[in-house]
Amino acid sequence: METVGIWIGALCTLAIFSFLLRENPFFRTAEHLFIGLAAGLGIFYGYQTIVSNAWTPLFNPDPGEARKWFLIVPLVLGVLLYTRFLKKGKWISRIPLGFLVGVGSALAIRGVIGASFMSQIVATMELPLWHTMAKFKIDAILFILGVIGTLIYFFFSREQKGPLKVGASIGKWVMMLAFGAAFGNTVMARMSLLVGRIYFLLGEWLHIL
């Protein structure tokens, strides 16, 4: 059975790689298979979430635990999403959608205020200026200049001339270095995946490696 699995896996891998030559029927079949499996997984995880987070605590709670009646609300909202298949009641599906968007937006603000905004500013302000962060003594100064420069680069409320222009220029070069490094990291991550696939084909499948 394991050999059959490896052969199927290898054929799937080759079908996807065949896209590099041109779009072809083998790729399209593998693509449909992939989407089908991914959607199936989505259904399973969705079902599992509903059962464990809503159905069981509401209708089948553990012995000694009270029923959580409030959970009827998300169950009803969830079912209302399916009204988008109705011709006349289509608009009702916007109610649960509105709830999702409202909570999602508020959650974004709550998350952003703490982790991405205040903490980042505080962490930058707390850096001792003459401090070796990585290699050189001026690293902390370079770092702070980089953060401030990047912020100035996106400051459009005033014409960028004089000190603002200098700051924006520093920001631009720091961002170029940052994007280059980020790109290099992305390339390496994709390459390691590619090496993994080639290792699978040449090693596990063909036993060459």
The single residue listed with the structure tokens 């699995």 is 5
Nearer to another protein, 109 or 206 (CB): 109
Nearer to another protein, 1 or 208 (CB): 1
Task: State in angstroms the smallest separation of the CB of 82 from another protein.
Answer: 6
Task: State in angstroms the smallest separation of the CB of 83 from another protein.
Answer: 10
* Sign of CA pseudo-dihedral 19, 21, 22, 26: negative
Task: State in angstroms the smallest separation of the CB of 40 from another protein.
Answer: 3
Nearer to another protein, 97 or 164 (CB): 97
Task: State in angstroms the smallest separation of the CB of 164 from another protein.
Answer: 15
Exposed (0-12), middle (13-18) or buried (19+): which is 124, by Cβ within 10 Å? middle
* Sign of CA pseudo-dihedral 62, 66, 70, 72: positive
Exposed (0-12), middle (13-18) or buried (19+): which is 75, by Cβ within 10 Å? middle
Nearer to another protein, 122 or 208 (CB): 122
CA distance 65 to 201: 52
Task: State in angstroms the smallest separation of the CB of 131 from another protein.
Answer: 12
Spell 19-58 as b/e; 16+ CB within 10 A means b. Answer: eeeeeeeebeebeeeeeeeeeeeeeeeeeeeeeeebeebb
Nearer to another protein, 64 or 91 (CB): 91
Nearer to another protein, 188 or 202 (CB): 188
CA distance 9 to 107: 40
Task: State in angstroms the smallest separation of the CB of 1 from another protein.
Answer: 7
